[in-house]
Structure 1
Amino acid sequence: MTDSTPHRTPLTLLGLGAMGTALARTWLAAGHPLTVWNRTAARAEALAAEGARIAPTAARAVAASDLVVLCLLDDASVEDALAGADLTGKDLVNLTTGTPAQARARAAWAQERGARFLDGGIMAVPPMIGVPESGGYVFYSGSRAAFDARHGTLAVPTGARYVGEDAGFAALQDVALLSAMTGMFAGLSHAFALVRDEDIDLLEFAPVLVEWLVAMAPAAHSTAEQLTSGDYTADVASNLAMMVSGNTTLVRTAEEQGVSGELLLPFMDLMARRLRDGHGDESATGVIELLRR
């Protein structure tokens, strides 16, 4: 059986944490013969009742299918789980969170053992798996041949986006998006800290905040265009000089509200540094130059 009949393709899944279990259930519900293994065997029992075959060892699980998916704790867990397993002829899909360098090293490691390798970055949380309208997806990078052959099966739990032959690209874009999210959460935290002690209904404030962030998000397009062209002054609505001047009000308001500015100050300091270097007519894109080491 191959991915020419994707709803019946057998596969193996190593790792049954919250995400692994969610993945397993969607494949089982879609009719895929599924072999599972987990270091803590008790976590597999519920899936056995749903039709999964439980392997006693990771090596036995790998032997059961040509398509092997890993969703483990970290890269060291992948190393341990696959020790002694015969990977010859396997398509190895690693959904374990890791760095780009780890993905590239693991791809070379898999190739030496006769396997095609895909690394994946899951842009979803477990409740989004198996829910097409959730908007979740997985970045995949590595063997294009493996992705093309296995796309039907990989796309069952959530969307599948191939981002390149470089095995590190999925992890890199995963971390890039998560880093942007972290910055957004910092801004959300600061915004709520400013207003929470006032007579402002936070439940009414939240949609206003979301609306503003959505309106600002397309700035990513102009940032990409400026980085591509090298012209950081093109189509600038608010230049760096204006923004640095405005930062004074942001900092002062935080002081008046008794709120620490520590979530904003590092970025503001970089903006001021870029301005001192004579780039007041640019957008904030030039700050990216200061992040290079």
Structure 2
Amino acid sequence: MTQNTVEKTPVTLLGLGAMGAALARTWLAAGHPLTVWNRTPARSAALAAEGAKVAGSAAEAVAANSLVVVCLLDDASVDEALAGADLTGRDLVNLVTGTPAQARARAEWARERGARYLDGGIMAVPPMIGAPEAGGYVFYSGSRELFERHRRTLGVPAGTTYVGEDAGFAALYDVALLSAMYGMSAGAAHAFALIRKEGIDPASLAPLLADWLVAMAPGIHLTADQLRSGDYAKGVVSNLAMQVAGVPTFLGTAEQQGVSPELLSPYFELMRRRLADGHGEEDLTGVIDLLIR
């Protein structure tokens, strides 16, 4: 074992699915002593050959190191895996995708068991782990002191973005960004559906569609500015009244192309409701207020 390896923070990792295995390999490659555990032991074999220590149980893995990273399937699997583990004095970093409420409850659960807690939201897919140029990163929330203590180690697999002391914020940011992604994907799906029956190569539409979405992305900053100021008419280029007037064209085109409008109709309905409330000179930002219950 080299002196460089000795100086690296030892890590325990629970969960060796596609993401967990990617995390494990980046820590091993960077010289961090690594103890791993997985419910299906066969998944540990390859990592053992690469230098990881394989624990026989989750409790044994937790006992091995102060820094314990959890990358399991869901919140329920965390309960199951850690049921018999002594968390006293441990620094628990939970990378399981969950809701803000689950993260806050898990932070209290960890505190009651003598552990300090960070919640994480991974904004990456496994191939992006260990590849800084890919742009993947992880949101972290919870103890700032704990984050600062392990920032360098946590930053080995992917970039780190700390978003606050509230343990639920990492999950909230994670789901907010992923929700926007699904909304974008829904719009792209509708666009491809419109040309599906025509003699148009989807590959010819793809670069135009991608470039258009990139060109529209800066509008997100205007929306944020309008929300902060409360002035939804600030900087408007195409007001709500004008955009609602164009809705029949979108719906008519979908009907003519034999495409269901179900991905777009809910948003169009919100636009109409906002217009009916007398906000025709505003931007689309007002539909956000209609979503708040």
- The TM-score bracket by the shorter chain reads over 0.9
What residue is the counterpart of 1:242 in the other structure?
A: 242
Equivalent residues of 1:48, 1:54 under 8 A apart: yes
CA distance in 2, matches of 1:194, 1:10: 53
CA distance in 2, matches of 1:264, 1:29: 46
What residue is the counterpart of 2:258 in the other structure?
A: 258
CA distance in 2, matches of 1:114, 1:223: 42
What residue is the counterpart of 1:165 in the other structure?
A: 165
CA distance in 2, matches of 1:30, 1:5: 8
Tell me which amino acid in the other structure corresponds to 1:236.
V
What residue is the counterpart of 1:223 in the other structure?
A: 223
What residue is the counterpart of 1:39 in the other structure?
A: 39
1:239-278 CA distances to partner (integer Å, 9 max, x unpaired)? 1001101111111111111111000000000100110111
CA distance in 2, matches of 1:128, 1:277: 45
SS in 1 for 2:246: helix
1:18-76 CA distances to partner (integer Å, 9 max, x unpaired)? 00000000000111100000011111111000000000010000000000000001111
1:177-223 CA distances to partner (integer Å, 9 max, x unpaired)? 00000000000000000112222222121000000000001111011
Aligned-residue Cα RMSD (Å) equals 1.3
CA shift in 2, pair 1:9/1:163, >3 Å: same
What residue is the counterpart of 1:73 in the other structure?
A: 73
What residue is the counterpart of 2:269 in the other structure?
A: 269
What residue is the counterpart of 1:13 in the other structure?
A: 13
1:87-108 CA distances to partner (integer Å, 9 max, x unpaired)? 1111100000100000000001
Tell me which amino acid in the other structure corresponds to 1:205.
L
Tell me which amino acid in the other structure corresponds to 1:105.
A
What residue is the counterpart of 1:101 in the other structure?
A: 101
SS in 2 for 1:84: coil
CA distance in 2, matches of 1:143, 1:219: 33
Equivalent residues of 2:27, 2:156 under 8 A apart: yes
Q: Does 1:56 align with 2:85?
A: no
Pairing 1:200-219 to 2, within 5 Å after superposition: 200-219=200-219
Pairing 1:271-286 to 2, within 5 Å after superposition: 271-286=271-286
TM-score (norm 2): 0.97
Equivalent residues of 1:6, 1:152 under 8 A apart: no
Structure 1 segments of 4+ aligned residues over 6 angstroms from their partners: 4-7
What residue is the counterpart of 2:143 in the other structure?
A: 143
CA distance in 2, matches of 1:6, 1:237: 59
Q: Does 1:291 align with 2:287?
A: no
How many pairs were matched up? 290
CA distance in 1, matches of 2:275, 2:210: 30
Q: Does 1:27 align with 2:41?
A: no
Equivalent residues of 2:100, 2:168 under 8 A apart: yes
CA shift in 2, pair 1:162/1:146, >3 Å: same
1:157-196 CA distances to partner (integer Å, 9 max, x unpaired)? 0101100000000000000000000000000000000112
SS in 2 for 1:172: helix
Equivalent residues of 1:6, 1:153 under 8 A apart: no
CA distance in 1, matches of 2:14, 2:33: 14
Query: Runs of 5+ in structure 1 lacking a partner?
Result: none
Residue identity over aligned pairs, in percent, reads 72
CA distance in 2, matches of 1:227, 1:213: 22
SS in 2 for 1:73: coil
CA distance in 2, matches of 1:61, 1:225: 47
Query: Runs of 5+ in structure 2 lacking a partner?
Result: none
CA distance in 2, matches of 1:43, 1:169: 32
Tell me which amino acid in the other structure corresponds to 1:118.
L
Equivalent residues of 1:117, 1:143 under 8 A apart: yes
Equivalent residues of 1:35, 1:55 under 8 A apart: yes
Q: Does 1:186 align with 2:200?
A: no
TM-score (norm 1): 0.97
